[in-house]
Structure 1
Amino acid sequence: MARALQYAAGRVSGWQGDEVVLRAGDGALCASDVHAAIVFDGRLDNQPEIERRLGRQAGDVGALLLAAYHRWGKDCFTHLIGDYACAIWDRDARAFYLATDPGALRTLFFRTDRGRLLFATEQRGLFACPDVPREIDPDQMAAWLCMLPREPLRTFFRGINRVPPGHVVRWADGAFSLERWWRPEDVPTLHLPRDEDYEEALRAALDEAVRARIRPGERIGSDLSGGLDSSGVSALAAGQLAKEGRELTAFTAAPRHPHPSRRNRFTDEWPSAAEIAALYPNITHVRIDNDDEPLLDALDRREMASDWPVLNATNTVWIDAIHREAKRRRLDVLLQGAMGNMTISYSGGERLAGRLRAADVAGTWRAIADLRRGGGRSWLGIAGEAADFLLPLALSRGLRSLLGRAPTGVFDYSAIHPDFLKRSGLTDRARTLGGHLRNLTRGDSRALRLAVLDRTDHRGHHAMATRRLFGLDVRDPTSDRRVIELCLSIPEEQFALGGVPRSLIRRAMRGLLPEVVLNERRKGLQAADWRVGFQQAMPRLRAEVGRLRASPFASECLDLNRMDALLDAWPGVDDAGERANIDYLCAFSRALTAGRFIRRVEGGNG
C-alpha cells in the first residue's frame, strides 16, 4: 500500500503494534505515544493558536496533534485549521478515527471487511491489497452522469468508502459510524455597523488564508485569470511575498485562436490578467495556450494518476499545461481560487428568492429596486426569477418553454442511456435537479453554497493527481474553513449591495486590483477556443466511442448512439452557439471520460 501511494523515492515512516500498521510518506507524518498513534497528511495552519489553547508548546506538529487528541478527543478536529487527512488509533479504546477538513483538497478512503479496517489517502492504496476488488458501483455512475449529489460515503467502487469533507469516521469492534464534525449550517449571521466593516473582514480573512499557504523556502505559483477570485488571491500573495523579497509566478491560460466575445462573456482573459500582473513587480507572468497539446494526450496523462473520472475533458488540456510549466520552473505550490464563487465572490443571486422565502415584503421590494438600478435587470428577468421560486417547478419550466426559454433537461446535458437511468431509480431526482442545484435549494442561499461545496470532492482527486504527476501542492485560500464560515455568516445583501453582483469582493479588493477587473460584469469564458482542439481530436474521438461499444458496462450506461450522432452533427470551430457547450462540453465529454474510466477499471485501455 505504501509503495502504491508513494509519489517519489523518499523516506516512509510508520508505527506498528496492537495488530495495527500505520505508514506515512511523501511529507506525511506519523507520531505516537503510549496511548495513541496518528498519521497526518496535509498542513496545519493554526499551530500557535492550538498551543495557546492547550497551554503548552509542542516540539513538532505530531506531538501537538497527539496533545490535541488527548485534550479534546474526536472533537479535536474542530480546532484544527488546514488542508488535511488524518487517522488516529486510540490504543486504550481500541478505536480508529478517520477525518478530513472541509476544504476537500485532501482525500481519505477506507474499506471494512471481516473485522478489518484498511484506509489510504488514495483508492489505489486499497487496491494494492490483492483481496480488495475493483467493482464499479452502477448507482454512483448514474448519479455522476446526471450531475446529482452523491451519498456522502459512497465512491465509484463497491465496498470502498470515502471520508466526506468535514466528517469523522469512528471504527471499533469491526463496525464504523459517520459523524459530521463541521457544522456550517450553525454559523450565526454576522451583524456589523458599516458596509466597510464587512469589506475589511473579508479582506483580512482572505489575506490570512493566503499567508497560511505560503511557507518559508517554497517556490510559489498561482493561477491568474481575469476574474475576481484568482486575481484577489494572486494580488495578496504577491504583496506578502514582496515583503520577503520573493517572487510569484502567475499562469494565465489564453486562446491562440481569436474567438468573438458573446453576451455577458469575454473570451480572452490575458489582457485583464496582464493588468493585474503589471501592478506587482515581483509577479512573473506566464502565458499558456489553451490548446497546448492534443485533448486525448492530456486525458491519458491525467487518468493515469487518478482513480476517478476526469470531470472536465477540455479544461484538462490547459490546466495540465500550467502544471507542466510550473514543474519545469521547479515550483512547489500552486495557489488557486476555485471555490471563490461560493465564498469570497458569491454573487448574492439568491437575494430576491430569499426575501420571498422569508415573506419579507419590504426586503423584496428593496431587492427588486436594486436589481433594476444597480444590476441592470429587466422587469421580465426579475419576474422570471420570482416565478422560478414562487411557482411549482413543473409550472415555471412550462412557462419558460412557452416563452422560448426552455430549461435544460437531464437528456440535454447528459448522454446517460435512458434505460440505465430508469433502472437506477434516479429519474425523478435527475429531472427535478435539471443540472442546477438551485432547483433543490429553492432560494436558500446558505443551502445552495453548502450543496456546491459538498459536490466538489473531485477537487481532492484532482489535487492528489497533480501532486503525483507534477510534484505540485495545490492550495486554495478561498476554501479555507475560516473564509467559508465568514462568508456564510455575512448577510446576503452585502454580496449584491446596490444590486451589483459580487459587490463585496469588488469593494474589498479596491486598491489591490485594477479598475478594469473590479468593474467587469461579464464572466470570463475558459478555453473559449476549445473547438479547435476538439475538431483536431475528431478521428480519435470516433475511435474512442467505437472502443466503448466493446465494454458491456459502458454500452449499458452510456447512450453511444447519441455520442456518435453528436460527432456526426459537429458544427465546426466557428460555431458560437451555446448549444454546442451543452452537447459537447457537458453531454459528450462527461460520457467520454466516464467511458474511459470504465474501460480502465475493466483493464481495456491498454
Structure 2
Amino acid sequence: LIKESFFDVIIYAQFPEEYQKNQSFLFEHQNELVFIIAHLHNRLELCQALGLPTHNHDSKIVFEAYKKWKDKGLKKCLGKWMLISLNFTTQQIALARDHMGMFNYYYHFVNNSLLFSTNLELLKQITPSILELNFKHIAGLAIGFNGLSDETAYNNIFKVSPAHIIKFQNNKKITQKYWEPVFNESIYYKKEDDYIQHFISLFTNIINELTNNNHIIASTLSSGLDSSFVSAITASELLKQNRILIAITSTVKNPQTPVKSPYRYADEAPLAQLVAHQYPNIVHIIDKSENTNPFEGLIKAVNTHHSPVRNAGNQYWLFSMFEQLAEHKVNTLFIGQMGNLTYSWPFFNPKPRHPFHWLQQLKYLLAFYKPYYIKNSYLNSSFIKQQHYVSYLKKQQYNPNFQSQNLIKARQFFFKQIQSFGYTSWNEKANQYGINIIDPTADVRLIEFCFSLPNHIFSNKQGNRMLIRKAALNYLPNEIIYNPQKAIQSADAFERFIKSYPLYENLIQSSLQIEAVQHIFQTKKIIHHITEKKFSTHVVLRTLLISLFIYFATNKSDFRTN
C-alpha cells in the first residue's frame, strides 16, 4: 500500500515465491513512481541499447527503457510485462500492457483510488464497492464472442488492452495503441529458399533466447504443424545443451472415438509420437485426461478465472495438462497458439464468393434476422430483444464465419480478434501451477517478419501454409507436413459429458434455477436437450460454464466453501 501517492494503490503480483527472490518491482525516478512486472524476450538486445549489465532483472530493464524513451521505450520491450506509473507532478496515472497481452491484469477505480491485480478474485475481495455482473459480456461468451478487449464479467472492473497505454488525468481517460503490425509485402528475395532460411534463422534465435536459462521446459505437442514445429526447433536447440524437452499431447481416451467427417480425426497421439521419436531428448507425455471430466473442467475454470471463458469444452483437458506438467516440475511451457496467423498461414482455403452473396448481406441487415449462432444458442428471446443483442453484435463486428479471398484483409481481421483478447486464460491457468507460459509463434519479431512476406510464399499452386511446410522438411515427419486431415479437440467430450452428468446433475440444476441465469438462457430447453442426449457439446458446456459462474458469483454459500 503506497500511502504517499495521490492514489491509494494496492499492489498484488501472483507469481511463484522463487520468482520474486532478490527482485524489485517498484522503481522511483524524480517525480515518478513506477511498478513493473516483466519477462522479456529480447533482454540482451535491450541491455546493449541501454548500456546495462546483462545480470539486471527484466523489470529493471523495462524501467530503464521507459525512463530513457518514455512511451516509445515500451514498444521496444518484447515479451510479457505490465507497467503502472504515478506522476506526482502532473497527477497522472498510466497503465500499460505488452504487445500481445501475454501478461494480464485488472483494474478498478473506487473512491479516488486505483486497485489493480493479476487476480480477479483478489480484486473483488479488496474493493469496498458493490460489483455488478456484465450480462451483455457474459452472454457473448455463450455464442463464442469474447467481447471488447477491456471488458470483464463485471461492469466496473476492466482489463488493459494489449499494446495499449491508458492515461488518467484530471478525471479524463486517454487510451492509445502503441503498436500494431504493418501488413505489407516489404521483404523481397530473389530465391524462395532465402525466405525459408530467414524464417528458420529468426525462429531458432527466438527459441534460443527463450531457453537461455536453467528452466525445465515443456511444449504442447499436437498432431498439427504449429505446435509440432515449436517442439521440433526447441528440442533441436535443447539437445545441443544436453537438455530434455517435455512434450505433452492431450488426446481422447478411446483411440477409436468416431468422428462424422472423413477430413477429421480424434486421436492425435500417433502423429505426435512420430515427432517425439525423431528427437532423442523429448520426454513424451500422452495425457488422456482420465481422472477428470467436462464438469470438473468447468468448476476449475470458475475457480481459476473467476469469469466464464470462451472455450468451455477444452477446460477439462487443459487443467489435466497443467497438472501433469506441474508433477514434472515444469517451469516454462511453450505453445503455438499464434502459428496459424504467422508461419502457418493461411489456415483455411479461401472460398469463392457465393453467387447470391448479396442475399446473405441483405438478410444480415434485416432487424428481425437472427444469425445462426444466435439460433443455435440457448439465449432467451426476451434477453436478445431487451438488450438489442443482434444489433450490438453487428456494431462490434462479430462475424465468426468471416472469410475473404483477400488474404491480407483476412489476416488483419483474425489478428485483431486474437490480439484484442490476449493470453489471459492461458496465463491465469499457468500462474496457478507456477508455470511461465510463452508463445514463440506470437513473438513480435516473428509477427512483423511474417506479415511482411509476399502472399505467394504462403499460398500458391502447391497449396496453402507453404512457408511452414517447406521450413519443416528437415524437422518434422512427412506424415505431419502433408497431413490433409485436421484433428478435433475434445473429440470425446460428449461421451465424457453423458457419463459424468449424473454426478453433477444437482449442481447444474441449482445453477439453472438462479434468476439471472433464467433471464439470459432458456433453462428448460437446456435440461430437455441434456435429458434427450441431443445437443452440441460445446454450446451446452459454454452455457453451463456461464450458469455455474453466475451461481458461484451470487451464492456465497455454495458447495466449494465446505
TM-score normalised over the length of structure 1:
0.82
Q: Is the 8 A contact 1:494 1:503 kept in 2?
A: yes
Q: Is the 8 A contact 2:223 2:480 kept in 1?
A: yes
Structure 1 residue 455: Cα displacement: 5.0
Question: What residue number does 2:431 align with?
Answer: 467
Alpha-carbon distance between aligned partners in 1 of 2:212 and 2:486, rounded to the nearest angstrom: 32
Alpha-carbon distance between aligned partners in 2 of 1:291 and 1:52, rounded to the nearest angstrom: 49
After superposing the two structures, state which structure 1 stretch, 241-250 or 559-568, moved more.
Answer: 559-568
Structure 1 residue 106: Cα displacement: 1.3
Q: 1:21-40: per-residue Cα shift (whole Å, max 9, x none)?
A: 46464336413233233222
Question: What residue number does 1:584 align with?
Answer: 537
Q: 1:470-508: per-residue Cα shift (whole Å, max 9, x none)?
A: 212221111222222222222333222225122211111
Q: Is the 8 A contact 2:37 2:81 kept in 1?
A: yes
With over 3 angstroms needed to count, the CA separation of the structure-2 counterparts of 1:347 and 1:137, relative to structure 1, is same
Amino acid at match of 2:324: E
1:119 aligns with 2:116: yes
With over 3 angstroms needed to count, the CA separation of the structure-2 counterparts of 1:394 and 1:24, relative to structure 1, is closer
**1:61 counterpart (58, 63, 71):** 58
Summarize the alignment of residues 349-388 of structure 1 with structure 2, pairs less than 5 Å apart. Answer: 349=348, 385-387=352-354
**2:204 counterpart (200, 203, 207):** 207
Alpha-carbon distance between aligned partners in 2 of 1:429 and 1:437, rounded to the nearest angstrom: 17
Look up the SS of the partner of 1:244 in the other structure: coil
Aligned residues: 540
Look up the SS of the partner of 2:354 in the other structure: helix
**2:413 counterpart (444, 448, 451):** 448
Question: What residue number does 2:5 align with?
Answer: 18
Alpha-carbon distance between aligned partners in 2 of 1:89 and 1:441, rounded to the nearest angstrom: 44
Q: Is the 8 A contact 1:167 1:179 kept in 2?
A: yes
Amino acid at match of 1:304: N
Q: 1:437-476: per-residue Cα shift (whole Å, max 9, x none)?
A: 448999822322223313534x3133223312x2122211
Look up the SS of the partner of 1:164 in the other structure: coil
Summarize the alignment of residues 148-547 of structure 1 with structure 2, pairs less than 5 Å apart. Answer: 148=145, 150-185=147-182, 189-257=186-254, 258-260=256-258, 262-347=261-346, 349=348, 385-387=352-354, 391=358, 393-394=360-361, 409-428=372-391, 430=393, 433=398, 435-438=400-403, 444-454=409-419, 456-457=421-422, 459-468=423-432, 470-540=433-503, 542-547=505-510
Q: Is the 8 A contact 1:185 1:446 kept in 2?
A: no
With over 3 angstroms needed to count, the CA separation of the structure-2 counterparts of 1:325 and 1:61, relative to structure 1, is closer
Question: What residue number does 2:545 align with?
Answer: 593
Q: Is the 8 A contact 1:189 1:490 kept in 2?
A: yes
Structure 1 residue 395: Cα displacement: 6.3
**1:30 counterpart (19, 25, 33):** 25
Q: Is the 8 A contact 1:308 1:461 kept in 2?
A: no
Amino acid at match of 1:230: S
Structure 1 residue 152: Cα displacement: 2.9
Alpha-carbon distance between aligned partners in 2 of 1:531 and 1:549, rounded to the nearest angstrom: 20
Q: Is the 8 A contact 2:383 2:520 kept in 1?
A: yes
Amino acid at match of 2:550: I
With over 3 angstroms needed to count, the CA separation of the structure-2 counterparts of 1:149 and 1:315, relative to structure 1, is closer
Alpha-carbon distance between aligned partners in 1 of 2:121 and 2:531, rounded to the nearest angstrom: 37
Q: Is the 8 A contact 2:301 2:308 kept in 1?
A: no
Look up the SS of the partner of 1:342 in the other structure: coil
Alpha-carbon distance between aligned partners in 1 of 2:516 and 2:124, rounded to the nearest angstrom: 20
Structure 1 residue 294: Cα displacement: 2.7
Q: Which runs of 5+ in 1 are unaligned?
A: 1-13, 353-381, 399-406, 572-579
Summarize the alignment of residues 13-162 of structure 1 with structure 2, pairs less than 5 Å apart. Answer: 17-19=4-6, 21=9, 23=11, 25=13, 26=15, 27=19, 29-35=24-30, 36-57=32-53, 59-148=56-145, 150-162=147-159
Amino acid at match of 1:334: L
Alpha-carbon distance between aligned partners in 2 of 1:22 and 1:91, rounded to the nearest angstrom: 17
Alpha-carbon distance between aligned partners in 2 of 1:276 and 1:247, rounded to the nearest angstrom: 14
With over 3 angstroms needed to count, the CA separation of the structure-2 counterparts of 1:121 and 1:441, relative to structure 1, is farther
Structure 1 residue 203: Cα displacement: 2.1
Q: Is the 8 A contact 2:249 2:287 kept in 1?
A: yes
Amino acid at match of 2:264: R
Q: 1:9-48: per-residue Cα shift (whole Å, max 9, x none)?
A: xxxxx86633454646433641323323322223012122
Amino acid at match of 1:281: P
Look up the SS of the partner of 2:307 in the other structure: coil
Q: Is the 8 A contact 1:229 1:337 kept in 2?
A: yes
Alpha-carbon distance between aligned partners in 2 of 1:330 and 1:293, rounded to the nearest angstrom: 21
With over 3 angstroms needed to count, the CA separation of the structure-2 counterparts of 1:77 and 1:411, relative to structure 1, is same
Q: Is the 8 A contact 1:410 1:434 kept in 2?
A: no
With over 3 angstroms needed to count, the CA separation of the structure-2 counterparts of 1:428 and 1:95, relative to structure 1, is closer
With over 3 angstroms needed to count, the CA separation of the structure-2 counterparts of 1:88 and 1:200, relative to structure 1, is farther
Amino acid at match of 1:595: S
Q: 1:176-225: per-residue Cα shift (whole Å, max 9, x none)?
A: 22111112246664333332222223323322332333241211111111
Alpha-carbon distance between aligned partners in 2 of 1:275 and 1:528, rounded to the nearest angstrom: 21
After superposing the two structures, state which structure 1 stretch, 539-548 or 285-294, moved more.
Answer: 539-548
Alpha-carbon distance between aligned partners in 2 of 1:113 and 1:505, rounded to the nearest angstrom: 49
With over 3 angstroms needed to count, the CA separation of the structure-2 counterparts of 1:440 and 1:590, relative to structure 1, is farther
Structure 1 residue 132: Cα displacement: 3.1
Question: What residue number does 1:554 align with?
Answer: 517
Amino acid at match of 1:17: E
Question: What residue number does 1:565 align with?
Answer: 528
Alpha-carbon distance between aligned partners in 1 of 2:405 and 2:530, rounded to the nearest angstrom: 33
Q: Is the 8 A contact 2:334 2:440 kept in 1?
A: yes
Look up the SS of the partner of 2:353 in the other structure: helix
Alpha-carbon distance between aligned partners in 2 of 1:408 and 1:501, rounded to the nearest angstrom: 30
Alpha-carbon distance between aligned partners in 2 of 1:441 and 1:456, rounded to the nearest angstrom: 24
Alpha-carbon distance between aligned partners in 2 of 1:130 and 1:429, rounded to the nearest angstrom: 30
Amino acid at match of 1:115: N
Alpha-carbon distance between aligned partners in 2 of 1:83 and 1:241, rounded to the nearest angstrom: 22
Look up the SS of the partner of 1:43 in the other structure: strand
Question: What residue number does 1:5 align with?
Answer: none
Q: Is the 8 A contact 2:33 2:85 kept in 1?
A: yes
Question: What residue number does 1:401 align with?
Answer: none
With over 3 angstroms needed to count, the CA separation of the structure-2 counterparts of 1:414 and 1:490, relative to structure 1, is farther
Alpha-carbon distance between aligned partners in 1 of 2:408 and 2:372, rounded to the nearest angstrom: 20
With over 3 angstroms needed to count, the CA separation of the structure-2 counterparts of 1:388 and 1:423, relative to structure 1, is farther
With over 3 angstroms needed to count, the CA separation of the structure-2 counterparts of 1:62 and 1:159, relative to structure 1, is same
Structure 1 residue 55: Cα displacement: 4.3
Structure 1 residue 516: Cα displacement: 0.8
Alpha-carbon distance between aligned partners in 2 of 1:169 and 1:200, rounded to the nearest angstrom: 39
Alpha-carbon distance between aligned partners in 2 of 1:75 and 1:550, rounded to the nearest angstrom: 51
Structure 1 residue 561: Cα displacement: 2.2
With over 3 angstroms needed to count, the CA separation of the structure-2 counterparts of 1:416 and 1:206, relative to structure 1, is farther
Structure 1 residue 536: Cα displacement: 0.8
With over 3 angstroms needed to count, the CA separation of the structure-2 counterparts of 1:464 and 1:433, relative to structure 1, is closer
TM-score normalised over the length of structure 2:
0.88
CA RMSD of aligned residues (A): 2.9
